[in-house]
Every structure is written in C-alpha cells, then in structure tokens.
C-alpha cells in the first residue's frame, strides 16, 4: 500500500471517528409534558415546545426570535389582504411523502376549525388555497399586521396521512377527545417521533432527510417528565439528565457553585395572573348561594388590593420576576411599558372596606384551582395568595392539580377561581388580548376561563388586529388594557423569569418564550 493511500485512509478513519464522537444523545427533564401531539389541538407551552421539533410552518423564528423562511422560501403580498407563499422544493414528511401546497392549505383550514385551540393565529384568514403544487394563496378579511408573526404557530400536517388516519380535524382537548394525531406524529421537522409514553417520556430522533441544515450534534433526544423540583435537580446534579427546567429559585445558588452544572437565567414573556368566574350566576365552588360575588367589581378589586405582590416577588419568587398590572409582558409587540403599572396599591384596609360595601363584610369561602407542576413555585404562590386573602375574610381552599388535569378542568369551565399564565407565542399583543381578554364567543376568548366581558374591549381588540400603523396600534392596545385594568377583569401578578439548568458540557440559547429548541443546543 502506498504511503499516500495509507495517509488518506487514516485521515478518513479519523474523520469518521470524530463524526461519531460528535454525535450525541441528549436527555432533558421538564416539570411538565406535552398534552397532545396534535399541532392544532392545544395552545400550551410544553406541547408547542415538543411539536416545534416535529412540525413546521411556512415561516419560523431564528435563535433571536426573528421571522425567517421555513417551508416557504419566499412570499409576496400583491394586495393588503392577499399573501402568496412559494414552497421549498424537495421537502418530505417523515413517512416519505412529498410536501405540497394542498398539505399547507389543508393544515391552515384545519387550524381554523372550531375545535382548534390554535385558531387565534389564523384569526383574520378567510381562506388558504393551493394555486399549484408549490404555491399557496392566503386571503384575509382585512389587513393583518401580525400575520407573519403568527404563521410559525400554524404547523403543517400531511393531508393524506390525516385522511388515512381519520384525523382531518383536531380532537377537542377540553372534551378529552383523542384521534390518531393525539399520540402519533408525521411532520417535516428536524426530528422524528420514535416513541411516546404520555407524562413519562418522549423520544425524538434526528431526521436525516430534513431539508434544513442541522445546527445541533444531537442525534437522539429523550424528554422525561419530572414534576418534583427536588428530584429534577437531583437528576441534573447526578448526571442522569443533561438538562433540566425550570430550576427552583432556591436551588440556583447551589447549582451556581457546582463544577458540573450551570444555570442560565433571563426574562420570560409569560405573565401569571388570577382568573375569576364572572359569568356564572352562582359560583360552583364557593359557599355563597344564589349569587356570584365575583360579578361585583368591588370584590375583584378587594382581592387585588389584599394581595401583597411585593412579598410574592421577593420571598417566594426570590426577585426573579417583574410585577405587572397587565396580562401582556413588556417586550411584546405593541405593548407600551408604561401601561404595565399596577392599577391599585396593596392596601388590606381598603380591601376590607370594599368587601363591606359590596355586602361581603364577613367574607366567603372559595376554591382556588392551581397547577402544581407547570410554573415556577406555582403551588407556593397559590398558598401565599390564600393566606393573604384570609386577612379580608375570604377563606381560600387551594386545589393543587397536575397540569394536564388542571387545564382540562378550567378549559371546560369547571372552575370558580384559578391561577395560571399565558405566553403570546407569536410575540404580539393581539394574541393575549384575543385569547385571554376577549369575550368568550364565536371562537374568541379560548382561555378567558373567567368569562370576563366588556364590549368596548372587544371592539378595541378587533381594531388592533387590522391596524397597520405601529403607533396607533400601540395606542389601541393601551386603551384595551386600561379598560381591563379598571374592570379588574383578571388580577395580574408578575412576569415570570427563566431558569434553565444544564451540564457544563451543554451549550444552549435561552429563549424568552421558554421553549427549548434542540437546534440551538450542542453537547460537547
């Protein structure tokens, strides 16, 4: 064998060895799990985090959250209400079938279905049609300033696969319905579903036929649900998992001193709040009969003013959160930071006077539904709120629930008082206004579980969607938020912070929407 040939073989073997060494398995632990694999069934953070790896939209977000081409390589807007998208060539679903414009049109129409929880992202769309095999035309009822921002959330399914598996419409999660798409998946994304055990583990494997450039060396990723904070942290410290989130705030200093792990922290665009049933004539889970105290603005304001939000911020959340008076985080499109000032001060005496004026001087009893494995210190916050409200005679029984049961319960309207949070995943204010604040009718207010309703606010929300001037749009958002604050439609608490823990051999990009993106993670 010549020396040149031998040298070439040795170089090839070295390159192969390096490639194998760089390929990595990755195990990550979350407090929560995806509730479904149907990309249009549930607008839920952990569900969308997982589905982002399997399914894709016409456009996507880069690591800096900017819009860039996805399944569409380019687009134009020939009229203010017409968009033309040109599809990427050579894209295939995980089952090997080619992507066509019919798949895209079908998926957008599916996301608009009455049982879809993602229809807020298609709010202005009238139709989506295939012009030819690689061109999709989307028509809107009016100009929509947020359409491109919303399209990453309208994930594309195979029309043929959906038809063969009787999954042409989303399963209604609130009614506990399922179909083939609930537990199976067939997308075009960078990872394929290998196996799934709901609330236990989900395994993804790299899609070697993906159209894009893999920016991660992860070949296999295993997501495990570890609800217990202590167990999740222990798993990270022991090396059982490579990545864990969220990290309990009280454990951050300890992990920061470890020579094996590190913690990344930063702001999140999720706002945590209390929702009160204002739609029922009688509260289902209270001892007040024949009437509903939450219908009275004075009672809602009393609860607001009885909560020591600074104590929650400093003692329970350890200064990791930012208090707020609105349901939309600052930093989200069309939100004026000045609007986030809290409407009323902490004042238990004033709160007691309001209770007396409303005819509830002796207080009442009510149940607070609360997730215990979804948000940072969620159950502790609920317990603290209960203690604070007791000072004005409102005896609160905290009902802690696993996230899956919690969301099914409140989503079906089976709650009088609850604590949860919302992230506008398209980074636009309209999303939160339409989903949380709009009256629950005609597809609006999907997660306005307290059924707050103000026709003036509804009218402003519709104007926000079609207003193309940025300054005027921000003014409309501010007006809607101001009315909601005066009404005490909800009780805003704080903008949550992020804390991700990982081995020092892991590099990651912290995302303000709290979505782990494997494409932005590498393992040394």
Domain segments of the chain: what residues?
Answer: 24-242+505-523, 267-498
**CA pair distance 277, 292, nearest whole angstrom:** 8
Exposure of 424 in the CB half-sphere (CA atoms within 13 A): 27
pLDDT at 18: 37
Residue 399, strand partner residues: 369
CA distances from 523 to 21, 22, 26, 220, 238 (A): 11, 8, 8, 12, 17
**CA pair distance 223, 245, nearest whole angstrom:** 11
pTM for the full predicted model: 0.86
**Phi–psi pair at 68, nearest 5 degrees:** -145, 165
pLDDT at 402: 94
- Among 258, 364, 377, CA closest to 320: 377
Helix (H, G, I), strand (E, B) or coil at 361: coil
Exposure of 90 in the CB half-sphere (CA atoms within 13 A): 5
DSSP calls for 277-330: --S-SS-TTBS--SS-GGGSHHHHHHHHHH--HHHIIIIISTT-SEE-SSSS-T
pLDDT at 145: 85
DSSP calls for 404-453: HHHHHHHHTT--SEEEEEE--TTSBHHHHIIIIIS-S-TT--TT-TT---
Top CATH class of 267-498 equals alpha beta
Whose structure tokens read 């090396």? 239
Residue 150 CB partners (closer than 8 Å, separation 6+): 120, 121, 122, 123, 426, 428, 431
pLDDT tens, position by position, for the chain (524 residues)?
A: 444 544 544 444 444 443 434 789 999 999 999 999 999 999 999 999 999 999 999 999 999 999 999 999 999 999 999 999 999 999 999 999 999 999 999 999 999 999 999 999 998 999 999 999 999 999 999 999 889 999 999 999 999 999 999 999 999 987 889 999 999 999 999 999 999 999 999 999 999 999 999 999 999 999 999 999 999 999 999 999 999 999 999 999 999 999 999 999 998 999 999 999 999 999 999 999 999 999 999 999 999 999 999 999 999 999 999 999 999 999 999 999 999 999 999 999 999 999 999 999 999 999 999 999 999 999 999 999 999 999 999 999 999 999 989 999 999 999 999 999 999 999 999 999 999 999 999 889 999 999 999 999 999 999 999 999 999 999 999 999 999 999 999 999 999 999 999 999 999 999 999 999 999 999 99
Is cis: bond before 437, omega within 30 of 0? no
**CA pair distance 362, 355, nearest whole angstrom:** 8
C-beta neighbour count of 139 within 10 angstroms: 14
**Phi–psi pair at 503, nearest 5 degrees:** -60, 155
For domain 24-242+505-523, give the CATH number.
Answer: 3.40.190.10
- Among 199, 185, 122, CA closest to 444: 122
């Amino acid at each position: 064998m010549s020396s040149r040939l031998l040298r070439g073989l040795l170089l090839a073997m070295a390159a192969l060895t390096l490639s194998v060494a760089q390929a990595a398995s990755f195990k990550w632990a979350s407090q929560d799990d995806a509730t479904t694999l149907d990309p249009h069934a549930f607008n839920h953070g952990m569900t969308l985090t997982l589905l982002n790896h399997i399914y894709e939209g016409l456009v996507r977000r880069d690591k800096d959250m900017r819009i860039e081409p996805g399944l569409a390589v380019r687009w134009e807007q020939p009229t203010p209400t017409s968009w033309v998208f040109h599809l990427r060539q050579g894209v295939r679903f995980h089952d090997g079938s080619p992507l066509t414009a019919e798949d895209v049109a079908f998926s957008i129409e599916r996301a608009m279905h009455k049982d879809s929880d993602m229809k807020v992202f298609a709010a202005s769309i009238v139709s989506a049609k295939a012009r030819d095999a690689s061109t999709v035309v989307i028509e809107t009822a009016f100009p929509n300033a947020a359409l491109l921002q919303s399209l990453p959330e309208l994930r594309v399914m195979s029309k043929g696969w959906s038809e063969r598996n009787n999954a042409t419409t989303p399963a209604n999660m609130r009614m506990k319905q399922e179909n083939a798409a609930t537990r199976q998946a067939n997308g075009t994304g960078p990872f394929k579903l290998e196996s799934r055990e709901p609330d236990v583990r989900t395994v993804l494997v790299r899609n070697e036929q993906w159209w894009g450039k893999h920016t991660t060396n992860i070949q296999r990723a295993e997501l495990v649900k570890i609800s217990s904070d202590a167990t999740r942290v222990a798993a990270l410290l022991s090396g059982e998992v490579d990545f864990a989130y969220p990290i309990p705030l009280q454990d951050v200093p300890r992990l920061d001193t470890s020579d094996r792990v590190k913690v990344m922290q930063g702001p999140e665009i999720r706002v945590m709040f209390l929702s009160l049933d204002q739609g029922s004539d009688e509260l289902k889970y209270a001892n007040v009969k024949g009437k509903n105290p939450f219908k009275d603005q004075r009672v809602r304001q009393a609860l607001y003013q009885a909560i020591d939000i600074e104590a929650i911020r400093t003692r329970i959340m350890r200064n990791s959160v930012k208090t707020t008076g609105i349901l939309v985080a600052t930093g989200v499109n069309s939100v004026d930071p000045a609007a986030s000032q809290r409407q009323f001060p902490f004042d238990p005496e004033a709160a007691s006077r309001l209770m007396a004026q409303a005819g509830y001087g002796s207080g009442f009893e009510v149940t607070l539904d609360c997730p215990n494995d979804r948000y940072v210190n969620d159950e502790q916050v609920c317990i603290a709120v209960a203690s604070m409200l007791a000072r004005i005679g409102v005896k609160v029984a905290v009902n802690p629930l696993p996230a899956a049961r919690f969301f099914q319960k409140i989503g079906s309207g089976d709650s009088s008082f609850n604590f949860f949070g919302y992230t506008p995943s398209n980074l636009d204010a309209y999303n939160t206004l339409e989903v949380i604040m709009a009256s629950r009718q005609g597809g609006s207010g999907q997660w306005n579980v307290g059924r707050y309703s103000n026709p003036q606010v509804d009218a402003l929300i519709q104007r926000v969607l079609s207003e193309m001037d940025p300054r005027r749009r921000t003014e409309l958002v501010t007006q809607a938020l101001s009315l909601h604050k005066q009404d005490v439609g909800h009780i805003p608490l704080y903008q949550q912070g992020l804390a991700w823990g990982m081995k020092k051999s892991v590099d990651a990009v912290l995302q303000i929407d709290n979505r782990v993106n494997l494409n932005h993670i590498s393992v040394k």
